[in-house]
Structure 1
Amino acid sequence: MSKAHHRKKQPEAVRHLLLEVAAGLCLEKGTAGITLDAVAVAAGVSKGGLLHHFPSKAALLDGLLDDLMDRLDAAIHQAVIDDPEPRGRYTRAYLKVCFVTGGMAEEGRWKAMTIALLGEPQLRARWRRWVEERSELYAGTDSSVECELVRFAVDGLWLASVLESQSIGPEREQALMRRLDQLTRS
């Protein structure tokens, strides 16, 4: 008999657990590994409990993307606020948050989401809107070719990290960071 009815209700903790489990399954098995049954079993919740938070696999993936984008927005926003130089500050924030090893606290979840983005058109469309909205929001300070180049470089470095196609040592990483930062200021 399930002991779920004896547990204290903690909907946010359960929601967070479900997102963590979904990300782990995605990393391990790809998006095909994210089934509602598999997530419920791995999280130790009833399927009804899962469906209460996420009524479909698409809703679960959307929830994971929403959570990650909210966290990314908060980290970038803080880095923008902390940067006294207006020109290129969004791009430097993007560089700081997305490229630095360990800079994205949810690195494993982002790797899982990147896998999902590659395979799910509706997620790619949402990510594209996020990128376009930020480009419009910061067009006054970050529309130079140099800033755009830096953001493309950061995206490429992130994809290389996800695919584990390149190994960059700490010294080389710092050299790349310095050079990309310089480009945002030219």
Structure 2
Amino acid sequence: MTTGYHRKKQPELVRQQLLDVTAQVLADKCTAHLTLDLVAREAGVTKGGLLHHFPNKNALLEALCDELLRQMNDHIAEVMANDPEPTGRFSRAYLDVFSRKASEAGGTNTLYAALFAEANMRDRWRDWLEQRYRQHEDTDSALLAVIVRLAADGLWFVELIDGPKQLQDRRQELLAELNAMTRRK
């Protein structure tokens, strides 16, 4: 009797690898070019292996969206943990995380743009935002805090489209003023 080599099963590692490959394909291309065959091939797994983790393309995209939101949430929580001032803490962390995301290499921004072009992913994003807003309502419901978060979103978008040079030249000044706004009542 012969015994063949069997790879040790590591389902969480394979799942993460599939998500990483999906993110890379989206960063390089767009959702229209994303196929399960391509993801499986790039991840070095069979299509059946991919389907074991994600029954269809939408489930794969939803899992990636959830992973990105989890990472975003972790980054915001990390920044908040290092901020001793409660008033505006969430908005400062949101500004910090989104201004860093905005200045990242285009691949990550392209990934977010591709992912959130899908209606059901935008719904997941909106639900995540609404939950965070409710969670931090006691410390971050002031109008200036809302303006700061909207400005952070705008900064991310403007940098996503490689916006006007005037904004890039004044980026640090803009971030400093927005940060100061979170401390005003």
Q: Normalised by the shorter chain, which TM-score bucket? A: 0.7 to 0.9
Corresponding position of 2:114: 115
Select the structure of larger CA radius of gyration.
Answer: 2
Greater Cα offset, 133-142 or 15-24: 15-24
Question: Given the two structures, how large is their TM-score scaled by the length of structure 2?
Answer: 0.87
In structure 1, distance between residues paired with 2:35 and 2:152: 32
The residue correspondences of 1:65-144 to structure 2 (distance < 5 A) are 65-100=65-100, 108-109=107-108, 111-118=110-117, 120-144=118-142
Unmatched tracts of structure 1, length 5 or more? none
Contact 2:148–2:182, Cα closer than 8 Å, also in 1: yes
Q: Provide Cα deviations, 1:137-165, integer angstroms capped at 9, x if missing partner.
A: 11111111111111111111111222223
Counterpart code for 1:175:
E
Among all aligned residue pairs of Structure 1 and Structure 2, give the percentage whose two residues are the same amino acid: 43
Structure 2 counterpart of 1:159, from 151, 157, 160: 157
Contact 1:99–1:154, Cα closer than 8 Å, also in 2: yes
Q: Give the C-alpha shift of residue 110 in structure 1.
A: 5.2
Contact 2:102–2:160, Cα closer than 8 Å, also in 1: no
In structure 2, the CA distance between the partners of 1:143 and 1:79, relative to structure 1 (3 Å rule), is same
Q: How many residues align?
A: 179
In structure 2, distance between residues paired with 1:108 and 1:94: 20
- Please give the secondary structure, in 2, of the residue aligned with 1:185: coil
Q: Give the C-alpha shift of residue 78 in structure 1.
A: 1.8
Question: Given the two structures, how large is their TM-score scaled by the length of structure 1?
Answer: 0.86
Corresponding position of 2:46: 46
Contact 1:30–1:115, Cα closer than 8 Å, also in 2: yes
Counterpart code for 1:111:
T
In structure 2, distance between residues paired with 1:54 and 1:41: 15
In structure 2, distance between residues paired with 1:11 and 1:107: 30
Unmatched tracts of structure 2, length 5 or more? none
In structure 2, distance between residues paired with 1:166 and 1:28: 24
